[in-house]
Amino acid sequence: MPIDRSWIGRTGEPVVMHVERGKIREFARAIKDADPLYFDEEYAKREAGGIMPPVTFLQTMAHWDDGRGRVRPPMDLKRTLHGEQEFEFLRPIHAGGVLTARTRVADMYEKPGRRGGTMTFVVMETEFTTQRGELVARARQVGIETGQVVKD
């Protein structure tokens, strides 16, 4: 399917995300991380001003999106890979915080696949702001739709 570059620049609806202590615990356990910063309120207060979410935690915004925050050109999940992911932190994030996430399609481009077909790259950027409008983090994701079903 040829890419539809009119998707570039499109934005999803803002997603309001509560940074919850229980979700942080669940997420930390899922990545097998026992750092007390994620579990122990007193320790976390002393070390970091409160419980903080793990580095890759902002991925959990998926739980807060009813579908309207998501802006993604149609991709076939059977042929889609997560190519790259980046997080940038500008201010500390703590449990109890409420963030607003805005996602836009930053870029789309094609490359010939190594095993034939065309690979389509979709770059999505999300900005996370506090309720006072301060930018606290950015996420950048590159999704790749391969020309054929993905095999190693």
Of residues 5 and 115, the one with the C-beta less far from other proteins: 115
Q: Write out the E strands in the chain.
A: 15-18, 80-89, 98-112, 118-130, 135-145
Least separation in angstroms between CB 6 and other proteins? 26
Least separation in angstroms between CB 64 and other proteins? 9
**Burial label, 6 (beta-carbon count in 10 A; 0-12, 13-18, 19+):** exposed
d(CA 30, CA 63): 15
Longest Cα separation, the chain: 55
Least separation in angstroms between CB 52 and other proteins? 5
Of residues 77 and 116, the one with the C-beta less far from other proteins: 77
**Burial label, 24 (beta-carbon count in 10 A; 0-12, 13-18, 19+):** buried
Least separation in angstroms between CB 2 and other proteins? 23
Using CB under 8 A, list all residues that contact other proteins. Answer: 23, 26-27, 29-33, 35, 37, 46-49, 52, 54-56, 59-63, 77-79, 81-89, 92, 149-152
Of residues 100 and 141, the one with the C-beta less far from other proteins: 141
Least separation in angstroms between CB 70 and other proteins? 11
Of residues 32 and 132, the one with the C-beta less far from other proteins: 32
Task: Enter the tokens of residue 124.
Answer: 């999505």
Of residues 104 and 140, the one with the C-beta less far from other proteins: 140
d(CA 41, CA 121): 41
